[in-house]
Homo-oligomer: A and B are copies of this chain.
């Protein structure tokens, strides 16, 4: 993932899947990955998951406008509605302006 110098944006999506999340979840997640990657201003994402179904996806964006455009995407809106209806026990979505970065070595 190539990111510009700050400022850029990060969306921290912390969630726990519900026990019934298997029904269509993987297909939805793959579709969302693909659609997001086609979105102007999308820089990439990383996911880390725990064993209890909780995890965090951090997606990176050029600016706030790119995030807002993605939120208006029709398919994404459908997935959001379905997520609230059964895929997740809870989720938290934090939209963040990345102001500073420091790195040690290359990934």
Contacts and interface: CB of A to CB of B under 8 A. Distances in A.
Interface string A43-67: 0001011100011101000001000
Q: How many copies does the complex hold?
A: 2
A96 to B, nearest CB: 4
Range of interface residues on A (Cβ < 8 Å): 35 or more
A interface, by DSSP: helix, strand, loop or mixed?
Answer: strand
A62 to B, nearest CB: 15
Interface of A: 6, 10, 12, 14, 16, 46, 48-50, 54-56, 58, 64, 83-84, 88-107
9 closest residue pairs by CB, A with B: A48-B48, A96-B96, A90-B105, A95-B100, A97-B97, A93-B102, A96-B98, A94-B98, A91-B104
